[in-house]
Amino acid sequence: MVVVTGANGFIGRAVCAHLRSIGWPVRGLVRTLDRGTAARVEFLPVGDLTVIGGHALRNVLRGATAVVHLAAHVHQPANGDALAPMRRINVEVTERIARAAAAAGATHCVFASSVKVNGEVTLPGRPFRESDPPDPHDDYAATKWEAEQALAAVAAETGLRVTALRLPLTYGPGVKGNLATLARAIRAGVPLPLAGIHNRRSVLGVGNCSAAIETLLASEDPDGLGRMTPYLVADAEPVSTPELVRAMAAALGVNARLFAVSPGLLRFAGACIAQTPVVERLVGSLEVDTTAFRTRFGWTPPVPFADGLAAALREASPL
């Protein structure tokens, strides 16, 4: 049996559905039941993972052969200290989950990390690789890197196999954040000053994410026992920001209203309104080299970008 934490997130729901579709028994851990999870027996409410007791945690993991840990603190609040709550969830809970999984007899823990561990921007022809030195730039990325280090220690102490998937921008039904904001603007016909951008950004559809996790769970890796191994995964090809907008518009059945403003001017405008990180994600490149994962596991992303994006935007509610 596979236990999935964060099972009611948009990635968690996709992973649970995918594993069920291929006949794998799944137990999805959620904070509370909602309309999407209450009718399914595989979803188990466990409350706040930061306060759940060790005995209760081992109970909910009993019988698991593997754990897919997706639960995370992602969004930085507008006010206050973001690092403390992020560290509790992204680092401390992750370590406790891994230790409890090993104690319950699981042999493999798959951890949803982030490409932001590697950094925020790549140079032309220099995609991120697993061997690059970590360069986290914000609290979220820093805590994901800390979690990877904590997992390495747990693996060495317990013999657990740990695989960290450093995920790029991931899209699918129910996605929130910047991609949802962009989709709303496209649907509303807002003119976007993005036609002059020539960047390359790796993205990952939830269908391909789920397939990569399936591949990991089905794999044998005796050398991986007692180790934490990171991998970068993504769709088959990176896309530029204008390509992403045009593909989203096509999936939504509207015309993309793009005009050109120089990237330098966009960066200046972003700095003036304290939105530099948002603008940089639109203007800059962030490309990953997935050779290590594809070669090690003989994996090819099964869902084309256009199909995955259309499936994401076809839903009435997500964006």
Domain ranges of the chain: 2-169+204-235+287-303
Both structure tokens of 230: 């990171």
- Nearest-Å Rg of the Cα atoms of the chain is 20
- Give 177's contacts (C-beta < 8 A, 6+ positions apart): 74, 75
Determine whether 252 is exposed, middle or buried from the number of CB atoms within 10 Å of its CB (0-12, 13-18, 19+): middle
pLDDT band, very low/low/confident/very high, at 83 (cuts 50, 70, 90): confident
Average pLDDT value for residue range 138-142: 92
Higher pLDDT, 41 or 96: 96
Closest CA to 67 of 35, 33, 95: 95
Give me the pLDDT at residue 67, please: 96
Give me the pLDDT at residue 75, please: 64
Give me the pLDDT at residue 39, please: 62
Average pLDDT value for residue range 3-30: 93
Where do runs of H (alpha helix) occur along the chain? 10-21, 54-60, 83-87, 94-103, 139-158, 178-187, 206-218, 241-252, 263-272, 276-283, 291-297, 305-314
Higher pLDDT, 220 or 69: 69
Q: Given CATH 3.60.20.10, say whether it is the number of domain 2-169+204-235+287-303.
A: no
pLDDT band, very low/low/confident/very high, at 318 (cuts 50, 70, 90): very low
Average pLDDT value for residue range 25-54: 83
Give me the pLDDT at residue 76, please: 58
Give me the pLDDT at residue 250, please: 92
Average pLDDT value for residue range 72-89: 74
Give me the pLDDT at residue 38, please: 67
Checking if the pLDDT of 240 tops 50, the result is: yes
User: Which residues, in sequence order, are bridge partners of residue 28?
Assistant: 4, 43
pLDDT band, very low/low/confident/very high, at 316 (cuts 50, 70, 90): very low
Average pLDDT value for residue range 107-111: 96
